A and B are shown apart, each in its own frame.
Chain A
Amino acid sequence: MTATSVIPAVRRTRWGVGSLPPVTVTIALVILAGVIVMVLFPGIAPLDPDRIDAAAALQGPSAAHWLGTDELGRDVLSRVIAGARTAFLAPLGLATGIVALSLTIGLIAGYAGGWVDTFIGRIVDVLYAVPALLVAIVVVGVTGGGFVMAIVILTIFGLPSSTRLFRAAAMERVRLPYIEAARTVGTSPVRILFTQMLPTLRPLIVATLFLQFTYGLIEVSTLSFLGLGVPPGASDWGRMMFENRASISANAWATIAPGVLLVLLAVSTNVVGDWLYNRYEAKERQR
């Protein structure tokens, strides 16, 4: 017998939502906001991030250079602020691309079923086992390819996990009465996908966006840390760590500052993504 459960909103404090203290989520959002500010207003950097000043190379923190200088005399703080751009925009593009593609493929596979689904499913299963970053490292390394190639590879091999997610969600919903009712009433399949299914998937889409952003950030920064994908001298956080690692004893900040920011950004988006995903799941379970 269904109908309203007498057990009240206890479910809210169960293992999903409540377990991440709201404080954590707030902090994460603050950090995120901070990074976005850096992206939108690179002008807040005190000095020109690319200005080379050999005389001032490898100095520790001072009044002129709050985080010191790197081996070419460039101001670390300014470079870190400038680096927010690639750090934020690259994974964002990657995540958007992955979500858009996997959503389309997943929905079509889940809704259409039959041989379409089997065909897509097989491909996804094969690609799923392949670690995207590994392939990117090998391919970009061997071909000397640049940023674009890296993104393409990461996108292709990053599709399977999200595709599975959306496909599963679509398959669950296809059988639901309100979708069948829409079919019975005579709504066209395309319209059903857009106006009936998509709205219910919105929270999942946003959560996945955040989580894919996290993975993308880790992947892109790892690539640049290994010297791949980003041109030398770019004020990219991963690249900075790669280049300044050797001189870590002279000015550790040149390596640590970008590292700390990377970790903060990645953790923040993960926290937010998790929180959103748990909320989505909690709502699903209440059905």
Chain B
Amino acid sequence: MSLAAAGADALDHRRAVRWSEVRLIATVIAKRLLAGVVVLFIVTVLIFLFIHAAPGGPEVAIAGLDATPEQLAAIRELYRLDDPLPVQYWTYISSALTGDLGTSFMLREPVADAIGRALSGVTIPLIIITWTTALVFGVSLGYISARKRGQLLDRAIVGITVVGATAPMFATGLLISTVFGVQLRWFPFFGSGSGGLDTLYHLVLPALTMVIVMLASTTRISRVRFAQVLEEDQYAFAKARGVSPRAIFGRIIFRNSAVQLITWAGSVIVGLMTGLIIVEQIYSLPGIGSLLITAIGSRDIPMIQGITLVIAVAIVLVTIIVDVLCIIVDPRIRRGMEADA
């Protein structure tokens, strides 16, 4: 058959392949979402049981250790704590699905509102700033390091990033807030300011604290992977055929590191969640981390449940997104075959 006719046939074939790939990805997303729901179920059950199993029961937590039996009874009545656990759980979940996460004991306002405020005002901007900065600069630095591996610049970068990646966030946080905040007075180190640009100004030091660790570890991870790819035959072959440096970077180096980088980006987000708690404490930011700590201190059960639920949902979503992106990027996973041994 003529080359043109063969070409047309191949076009149809390609369309068919693309379509089946899209279907595959959709199926995977659906399956992962389902699995995510199951995980969330387990997590919420655990949290629920765990809180209600605290010594003395939640009514003691609410009222305090020296409450009278009548007060305790009243609380139990008010919060329906005598209902069987599955019923309590069901009430909670069904209202959660409609956005009602209960009312905070200490703040006396809907949990969902408090969380929303904390997230939008402080936490989410902080996460976005830190995440983007750490990834963009970390990957770039990692690439430079990998290209010049073994040379002086690389050794310097490796040396510095070891310190950066390991120094505990609270230590660096204290150091930065003291030096740049208290002593030099370059940036504010307390609270979140009055919204807009002022808030951003207040977020500089906290973001810097978190960026140090995340950037350093991103650099290390990227460097390792990039260096691996640079050693591979496919890199040498591309150079040998005269593929342009830009194409080599995009197609060979980046594409072959994408899976690792995507997975790492997901870990960064999860790691930031833990970091938030520390950083918000140090800089007294009214974000979700501080909210959690105060809630824990005041035994504010609905708030604790609400925040852990939000965190769990976030982690599940991140995991699903990472998985799906990896499948999209890596044809080997996609075509369901394992690499030839």
Interfacial residues, chain A to chain B (CB-CB below 8 A): 13-15, 18-21, 24, 126, 129-131, 133-134, 137-139, 141-143, 214, 217-218, 221-222, 225-226, 238, 241, 245, 248-249, 252, 255-256, 259-260, 262-263, 266-267, 270-271, 274
Q: Residue on B with the closest CB to A137?
A: B277
Assess whether B166 is in contact with A218, with CB atoms less than 8 Å apart: yes
Top 6 nearest A-B pairs by Cβ distance? A141-B296, A15-B149, A15-B227, A270-B166, A259-B171, A225-B170
Mark interface residues in B152-195 (1 if CB within 8 Å of A CB, else 0).
00110011001101111111101100100010000000000000
Q: Knowing A218-B166, A225-B278, A241-B170, say if A13 contacts B271 (CB, 8 Å).
A: no
Give the contacts of B7-25 with A (CB-CB under 8 A): none
Smallest beta-carbon distance B225→chain A, Å = 11
Tell me which residues across on chain B come within 8 A of A138, comparing CB atoms. 292, 296, 304, 308
Interface check B150, CB cutoff 8 A: yes
Assess whether B150 is in contact with A13, with CB atoms less than 8 Å apart: yes
Interfacial residues, chain B to chain A (CB-CB below 8 A): 39, 50-51, 54-55, 146, 149-150, 154-155, 158-159, 162-163, 165-172, 174-175, 178, 182, 223-224, 227, 231, 270-271, 273-274, 277-278, 281, 292-293, 296-297, 299, 304, 308, 311, 315, 319
Assess whether A131 is in contact with B278, with CB atoms less than 8 Å apart: no
Assess whether B278 is in contact with A214, with CB atoms less than 8 Å apart: no
Tell me which residues across on chain A come within 8 A of B162, comparing CB atoms. 20, 24, 267, 270-271, 274
Assess whether B296 is in contact with A241, with CB atoms less than 8 Å apart: no
Assess whether A20 is in contact with B170, with CB atoms less than 8 Å apart: no
Which one, A226, A262, A271, contacts B171 given CB within 8 A? A262
Which one, B158, B166, B277, B293, contacts A20 given CB within 8 A? B158
Assess whether B168 is in contact with A21, with CB atoms less than 8 Å apart: no
Assess whether A24 is in contact with B159, with CB atoms less than 8 Å apart: yes
Assess whether B167 is in contact with A19, with CB atoms less than 8 Å apart: no
Q: Knowing A142-B296, A218-B166, say if A14 contacts B150 (CB, 8 Å).
A: yes
Smallest beta-carbon distance B280→chain A, Å = 11
Q: Knowing A131-B274, A252-B178, A274-B162, say if A19 contacts B149 (CB, 8 Å).
A: yes
Tell me which residues across on chain A come within 8 A of B231, comparing CB atoms. 14
Assess whether A126 is in contact with B311, with CB atoms less than 8 Å apart: no
The CA-CA distance from A271 to B161 in the complex, in Å, is 10
The CA-CA distance from A138 to B278 in the complex, in Å, is 13
Which one, A13, A129, A133, A266, contacts B166 given CB within 8 A? A266
Smallest beta-carbon distance A262→chain B, Å = 6
Which one, A129, A248, A252, A256, contacts B315 given CB within 8 A? A129
The CA-CA distance from A131 to B224 in the complex, in Å, is 23
Q: Knowing A15-B227, A131-B270, A259-B171, say if A226 contacts B277 (CB, 8 Å).
A: yes
| SS of A interface (majority) | helix
Smallest beta-carbon distance B17→chain A, Å = 29
Which one, A141, A245, A256, contacts B297 given CB within 8 A? A141
Assess whether B168 is in contact with A19, with CB atoms less than 8 Å apart: no
| SS of B interface (majority) | helix
The CA-CA distance from A221 to B278 in the complex, in Å, is 11
Assess whether B146 is in contact with A15, with CB atoms less than 8 Å apart: yes
Assess whether B224 is in contact with A15, with CB atoms less than 8 Å apart: yes
Smallest beta-carbon distance B314→chain A, Å = 11
Smallest beta-carbon distance A158→chain B, Å = 13
Which one, B165, B223, B270, B278, contacts A129 given CB within 8 A? B270
Assess whether B227 is in contact with A245, with CB atoms less than 8 Å apart: no
Q: Knowing A138-B304, A141-B293, say if A214 contacts B166 (CB, 8 Å).
A: yes
Smallest beta-carbon distance B182→chain A, Å = 8
Assess whether B51 is in contact with A142, with CB atoms less than 8 Å apart: yes
Assess whether B150 is in contact with A19, with CB atoms less than 8 Å apart: yes
Assess whether B174 is in contact with A259, with CB atoms less than 8 Å apart: yes
Smallest beta-carbon distance A265→chain B, Å = 10
Assess whether A19 is in contact with B166, with CB atoms less than 8 Å apart: no
Q: Residue on A with the closest CB to B163?
A: A267
Tell me which residues across on chain B come within 8 A of A249, comparing CB atoms. 182
The CA-CA distance from A214 to B271 in the complex, in Å, is 16
Tell me which residues across on chain A come within 8 A of B278, comparing CB atoms. 222, 225-226
Smallest beta-carbon distance A286→chain B, Å = 13
Assess whether A19 is in contact with B296, with CB atoms less than 8 Å apart: no
Q: Residue on A with the closest CB to B228?
A: A15
Smallest beta-carbon distance A30→chain B, Å = 15
The CA-CA distance from A23 to B308 in the complex, in Å, is 45
The CA-CA distance from A214 to B278 in the complex, in Å, is 18
Smallest beta-carbon distance A71→chain B, Å = 17
Smallest beta-carbon distance B289→chain A, Å = 9
Smallest beta-carbon distance B150→chain A, Å = 5
Tell me which residues across on chain A come within 8 A of B166, comparing CB atoms. 214, 218, 263, 266-267, 270
The CA-CA distance from A18 to B159 in the complex, in Å, is 11
Q: List 14 A-B contacts (CB under 8 A).
A: A15-B150, A18-B155, A19-B150, A21-B159, A131-B270, A137-B277, A137-B296, A138-B308, A142-B299, A221-B168, A222-B169, A256-B175, A262-B168, A267-B163
Which one, B150, B165, B273, contacts A134 given CB within 8 A? B273
Assess whether B150 is in contact with A222, with CB atoms less than 8 Å apart: no
Assess whether A19 is in contact with B178, with CB atoms less than 8 Å apart: no
Q: Knowing A263-B171, A270-B165, say if A226 contacts B311 (CB, 8 Å).
A: no
